[in-house]
Chains A and B, each alone.
Chain A
Amino acid sequence: MASATDRHPLFIPLILIGGLIFGFGLAYSHMARPEVVLNFLQFEDLGLLFVMFGGAAVTGVVFFVMPRVLDRAPLTGGSFERRLKSFDRNVLIGGGIFGVGWGLSGICPGAAYASLGIGNVTILWALAGMFLGAYLQGYWRSRSAKTNAAVTGAD
């Protein structure tokens, strides 16, 4: 990954443009409103399915086409790969915990940032909670990594 010093001058502007479109889309879809997400989860309006699958349809095409068109990404020299993460039980445990939070609050991280953008200052409660949760798991995993290293005496 490009480090801050040898980055292409258009790297940060492109990230900003991508974020602008991403955030505008989240607001346009109304997913930035927790009430709309809760209505979806209570089967009162299933429209939200089109947000996720509409988004996945676009990325699906791009992820399929780009590796066949270009060898390297123009701004980073990185290769075009699909988003494939290894499966372990953390995917289900973490997904389950995330689901409880999403069902309770009606908000997920990207939609929370967009929610702030549409003027919903009340969402700062959720953002504070997300940072706290991310810190708690990071603290716990940093400690258990240290303990494991001490037990095995190796990295």
Chain B
Amino acid sequence: MVADPVPLQVAAELFPNGISRYAVGGLLVGLGAAVIYVGTGISAGASTFLESTLSYVSGQSRFQQYVASRDWRLVFTLGIVLGAAVYAVVYQGGAWTTDVAWWRLLIGGVFVGVGTRVGKGCTSGHGVCGVGSASKTSILGVIAFLLTAIVTAQIVAALGVTP
């Protein structure tokens, strides 16, 4: 059997599942944000939903700035859930559940909730809309969360926690 050329071997190692699912998915994520932007001028991010929804149940002054946008942010999130459900029905053929330990999800979630809101954005706000805006703030934010995420995930894996 003839070995693949070296670049192909490297690509197969770095991208064992190919790139099409990632690239097509990413283009669709961008398209979803673009549809909203073209109609409304709003660059939507996913993590503001956490605070805007808390404004329904909490009188803390921090959340009041999101009262005006909380209903459409709820609709946006509902759309995300339903859009993913369409994928599950069409391509997945049923529910899929994670094997990641519950305590990793819970504790990690707390850090995500604090960090995205203090840091002014998440993977969609900074990563997709901010980077698309060539915003220096967002690019620095992405570098910050990407680096700490890589270090954290590598340490957790090195400690033998799987998954």
Chain B interface, number of residues (Cβ within 8 angstroms):
124
Q: How many A-B residue pairs have CB under 8 A?
A: 559
Q: Which residues of B contact A154 (CB under 8 A)?
A: none
- The dominant DSSP class at the B interface is helix
Query: In the complex, are the beta carbons of B153 and A138 less than 8 A apart?
Result: no
Residues of the B chain whose Cβ atoms lie less than 8 Å from the Cβ of A21: 28, 31-32, 35, 83
A24 touches B83 (CB 8 A): yes
Docked Cα-Cα span, A35 to B82, in Å, equals 21
Q: Tell me which residues across on chain B come within 8 A of A66, comparing CB atoms.
A: 37-38
Contact B123 A52 (CB under 8 A): yes
Find out whether the CB atom of A55 lies under 8 angstroms from the CB atom of B137.
no
The answer to whether B117 and A59 touch across the interface, beta carbons within 8 angstroms, is no
Q: Are A27 and B118 in contact (CB under 8 A)?
A: no
Fill in one digit per residue for B77-99: 1 if any A CB lies within 8 Å of its CB, else 0.
11111111111100110111111
Q: Which of A29-78 contact B (CB under 8 A)?
A: 29-35, 38, 41-60, 62-63, 66, 72-76, 78
Residue in chain B with minimal CB distance to A67: B41
Most buried by A among B76, B85, B152, B153: B153
Could you tell me if A105 and B105 are in contact, using CB atoms closer than 8 angstroms? yes
Tell me if B140 and A114 are in contact (CB < 8 A). Answer: no
Q: Write the nearest CB–CB distance from A102 to chain B, whole angstroms.
A: 4
Residue of A whose beta carbon sits closest to that of B148: A99
User: Which residues 102-119 of B sit at the A interface, judged by CB distance below 8 A?
Assistant: 102-119
Judge whether A15 and B72 touch: CB under 8 Å: yes
Q: Which residues on the A side are within 8 Å of B82 (C-beta)?
A: 19-20, 23, 117
Q: Are B112 and A59 in contact (CB under 8 A)?
A: no
Check if A107 sits within 8 Å of B33, measured CB to CB: no
Most chain A beta-carbon neighbours within 10 Å: one of B92, B106, B110, B130: B110
Contacts of A35 in B (CB 8 A): 98-100, 163
Complex: chain A residue closest to B76, CB-CB:
A19
What are the residues of chain A within 8 A of B108 when measuring CB–CB?
100-107, 126, 129
Q: Which residues of the other chain, B, contact A134 by a CB distance below 8 angstroms?
A: 47, 50-51, 54, 113-114, 116-117
Contact indicator B122/A18 (Cβ below 8 Å): no
Neighbouring B residues of A131 by C-beta, 8 Å: 50, 53-54, 113
Task: Let me know if A25 and B29 touch, CB within 8 A.
Answer: yes
Which of A53, A73, A81, A114 is close to B84, meaning CB atoms less than 8 Å apart?
Answer: A114
**By the criterion CB–CB under 8 Å, are A98 and B109 in contact?**
no
Binary per-residue interface labels of chain A (91-103) against chain B in the complex, 1 for a CB within 8 Å, 0 otherwise: 1111111111111
Residues 16 to 33 of chain B near chain A (Cβ within 8 Å): 16-19, 21-33
Closest B residue to A49 by CB, please name it.
B22
Cα–Cα, bound, A99→B81 (Å): 23
In the complex, which of the residues A20, A46, A81 contacts B41, with contact meaning CB atoms closer than 8 Å?
A81
Question: What are the residues of chain B within 8 A of A45 when measuring CB–CB?
Answer: 14-17
Q: Which 6 residue pairs spanning A and B have beta carbons closest together?
A: A19-B79, A129-B109, A94-B119, A133-B113, A29-B25, A119-B95
The 5 sampled A-B contact pairs (Cβ below 8 Å) are A11-B72, A42-B157, A90-B120, A133-B110, A134-B116
